[in-house]
Structure 1
Amino acid sequence: MELGYLLAFAATAVTLVAAGWVGWSAAEWLWFQPRRLDLKLRAQGIRGSMYRLPYGDIKEIEHLVGEARRKPLPLSHNIVDRVAPHLTRAVDLYGGKNKVPFFWFGPCPRVIIMDPELIKDILSSKFGHFEKLRSAPLVRLLSRGVVNYEGEKWAKHRRIINPAFHVEKLKMMMPLFSACCDELIRRWEELANSSGVFEIDVWYEFQKFSADAISRTAFGSSYKEGQRIFELQKEQAELVILAARNLYIPGFRFIPTKKNMRRNEIHREVVARLKSMIEQREHVIKNGEAKTDDLLGLLMESNERHAEEGDHLEDASLTTEDVIEECKLFYFAGQETTSVLLTWTMIVLSMHPNWQDQARNEVLQVFGQSEPTSEGLSRLKIVTMIFYEILRLYPPVVILLRQTYKEMKLGEFTFPPGVQLLLPIILLHHSREFWGEDAEEFNPERFSEGVSKATKNQLIFFPFGWGPRICIGQNFALIEAKMALARILQHFSVELSPSYAHAPYTILTLQPQYGAQVILHKLHPQ
Structure 2
Amino acid sequence: MEWMEILTGLALALLASVCVYTHSVLWLRPQRLREKLRKQGIQGPRPSILTGNVWEIKTIQSKAAVSSTERHGRLTDDYAALLYPYLEFWRKQYGPIFTYATGTVQHLYISEPHLVKEISLCRSWDLGKPVYLVKQFWPLLGLGITRSNGQLWAHQRKIIAPEFFMDKVKGMVGLMIESALPLLKSWEDRVEGDGGIADIRIDEDLRNLSADVISKACFGSSYCYGKEIFSLIWALERTVSFAGVLNKIPAFRCLPTKNTREAWRLEEEIKELILKVATKRKEESNYVTSCETEKDLLQMILEAACADQLDQETANRFVVDNCKNIYLAGHETVASVATWTLMLLASHPEWQSRARTEVFDVSGGGLPDADLLFKMKTLTMVIQETLRLFPPTSFVSREAFEEMQLGGFRIPKGVNIWIPIPTLHRIPEIWGPDSDEFKPERFAHGIFGACKLPQVFIPFGLGPRTCLGQKFAMAELKTVLSLLLSKFSFSLSPKYVHSPSFKMVLEPQYGMNLLVSRRSKAGP
TM-score (normalised: structure 2): 0.91
Moved more, 286-295 or 479-488: 286-295
Q: 2:122 and 2:105 mapped to 1: Cα distance? A: 22
Instruction: Please list, as runs of the form range in 1=range in 2, the aligned pairs for 1:129-148 lying within 5 A after superposition.
Output: 129-134=126-131, 135-144=133-142, 145-148=144-147
Tell which deviates more after alignment, 369-378 or 78-87. 78-87
Residues 289-304 of structure 1: pairs in structure 2 closer than 5 A: 289=289, 291-292=293-294, 294-300=296-302
Aligned to 2:110: 113
Change (3 A) 1:63 1:206: farther
Does structure 1 residue 385 correspond to structure 2 residue 381?
yes
The 8 Å contact of residues 211 and 335 in structure 1, kept in 2 or not, is answered as: yes
Compute the displacement of 1:237 (Å): 1.2
Tell me if structure 1 keeps the 8 A contact 2:54–2:249. Answer: no
Change (3 A) 1:490 1:105: same
**Alignment deviations for residues 284-314 of structure 1 (CA, whole Å, 9 cap, x no partner):** 223225543532234445666xx3xxx8x87
CA–CA separation in structure 2 for the residues paired with 1:171 and 1:11: 73
Partner Cα distance (1:12, 1:153) in 2: 48
Q: Show CA shifts across 1:199-241 (max 9, x none).
A: 0111122122112222222212322221121111111112212
Deviation at 1:252, TM superposition (A): 5.1
Q: 1:66 to 1:326 in 2, by over 3 A?
A: farther
Q: How many residues align?
A: 510
In the TM superposition, 1:57-76 aligns within 5 A as 57-68=53-64, 71=69, 73-76=72-75
TM superposition shift of 1:136 = 5.0
Q: Where does residue 89 of structure 2 map in the other structure?
A: 89
Whole-angstrom CA distance in 1 between matches of 2:504 and 2:198 = 30
- Following TM superposition, by how much is the alpha carbon of 1:468 offset from its aligned partner in structure 2, in angstroms? 1.1
1:276 is matched with which residue? 276
The 1:423/1:124 distance shift into structure 2, 3 A limit, reads same
Separation in 2, partners of 1:198, 1:491: 14
Q: Is 1:411 matched with 2:407?
A: yes
Q: 1:286 to 1:16 in 2, by over 3 A?
A: farther
The 2-side partners of 1:37 and 1:25 are apart by 17
Matches within 5 A, 1:435-514: 435-514=431-510
Shift of 1:87: 2.0
For residues 8-58 of structure 1, what are the alpha-carbon distances to aligned partners after superposition, in whole Å with 9 as ceiling and x for unaligned? 888777665554444333222221123222222222211211112322222
Closer, same or farther: CA 368–301 of 1 in aligned 2, 3 Å:
farther
Q: Match of 1:297, as an amino acid?
A: Q
Structure 1 equivalent of residue 248 of structure 2: 247
Partner of 1:399: 395
SS in structure 2 of the partner of residue 521 of structure 1 = strand
Aligned-partner SS, 2:455: coil
The 10-residue stretch of structure 1 (376-385 or 106-115) with the greater mean CA deviation from structure 2: 106-115
Change (3 A) 1:160 1:371: same
**What are the residue-to-residue correspondences of 1:17-32 with 2, within 5 Å?**
19-32=15-28
SS at match of 1:273: helix
In structure 2, the residue corresponding to 1:463 is in which secondary structure? coil
Aligned residue number for residue 97 of structure 2: 100
The secondary structure found in structure 2 opposite 1:323 is: helix
Tell me the equivalent position of 1:288. Answer: 288
Structure 1 counterpart of 2:336, which letter? V
Structure 2 CA distance for aligned equivalents of residues 14 and 209 of structure 1? 63
Equivalent of residue 347 in structure 1, options 336, 340, 343: 343
Structural mapping, 1:140-219, within 5 Å: 140-144=138-142, 145-192=144-191, 193=193, 195-219=195-219
- 5 Å-filtered alignment, 1:429-440, equals 429-440=425-436
Q: What SS does the corresponding residue of 2:502 show, helix, strand or coil? A: strand
Three-state SS of the structure 2 residue aligned to 1:137 is helix
Deviates more, 1:488-497 or 1:161-170: 161-170
> Partners in 1 of 2:179 and 2:12 — Cα distance?
63
Q: 2:358 aligns with which of 354, 357, 362?
A: 362
CA distance in 1, matches of 2:56, 2:519: 49
Q: Give the 3-state SS of the residue equivalent to 2:265 in structure 1.
A: helix
Residue identity in the other structure for 1:171: K
SS class of match (2:56): helix
Would the aligned equivalents of 2:384 and 2:443 in 1 still touch at CA under 8 Å? yes
Question: Which deviates more from structure 2 when the two are superposed, residues 148-157 or residues 484-493?
Answer: 148-157
Q: In 2, are the aligned partners of 1:344 and 1:394 still within 8 Å (CA)?
A: yes
1:305-356 C-alpha deviation (Å, 9 max, x unpaired): xx3xxx8x879xx833212111001121112101110110011001111000
Structure 2: how far apart are the matches of 1:210 and 1:55? 39
Alpha-carbon distance in structure 2 between the residues aligned to 1:65 and 1:189: 43
Q: Give the deviation of 1:256 after TM superposition.
A: 3.7
Instruction: State the shift of 1:121 in Å.
Output: 2.7
- CA 456–300 in structure 1, closer or farther in 2 if over 3 Å, else same: farther
Distance 1:248 1:329 in 2: 25
Change (3 A) 1:437 1:478: same
Displacement after TM superposition at 1:281 (Å): 1.1
Q: Following the alignment from structure 2 to structure 1, what is the Cα–Cα distance between the partners of residues 453 and 446? A: 11
SS of structure 2 residue aligned to 1:397: coil
**Residues 302-317 of structure 1: matches in 2 within 5 Å?**
307=307
Distance 2:225 2:376 in 1: 34
Name the aligned partner's letter for residue 137 of structure 2: V
User: Match for residue 123 of structure 1?
Assistant: 120
**Could you tell me which amino acid in structure 2 is paired with residue 55 of structure 1?**
T
Following superposition, the deviation at residue 167 of structure 1 comes to: 1.4
User: 2:327 & 2:421 partners in 1: Cα distance?
Assistant: 23
Q: Which residue of 2 aligns with 1:226?
A: 226
Contact kept? 1:405, 1:417, Cα under 8 Å: yes
The code of the aligned residue for 2:120 comes to: L
Structure 1, gaps ≥5 residues long:
none
Q: For 1:9 and 1:250, locate their aligned partners in 2 and report how far apart those are by CA, in whole Å.
A: 34
Instruction: For 1:247, give the aligned amino acid.
Output: K
CA distance in structure 1 between the aligned counterparts of 2:8 and 2:220, rounded to whole angstroms = 61
Q: Secondary structure at the match of 1:464?
A: coil
Aligned with 1:178: secondary structure? helix
Percent of residue pairs identical: 33
**Aligned equivalents of 2:378, 2:152: Cα separation in 1:** 40
Amino acid at match of 1:74: G
Residue identity matched to 1:443: K
Aligned partner of 2:51 in structure 1 is 55
Please name the residue that 2:334 is paired with.
338
Q: Using the alignment, how far apart are the partners of 1:293 and 1:170 within structure 2?
A: 13
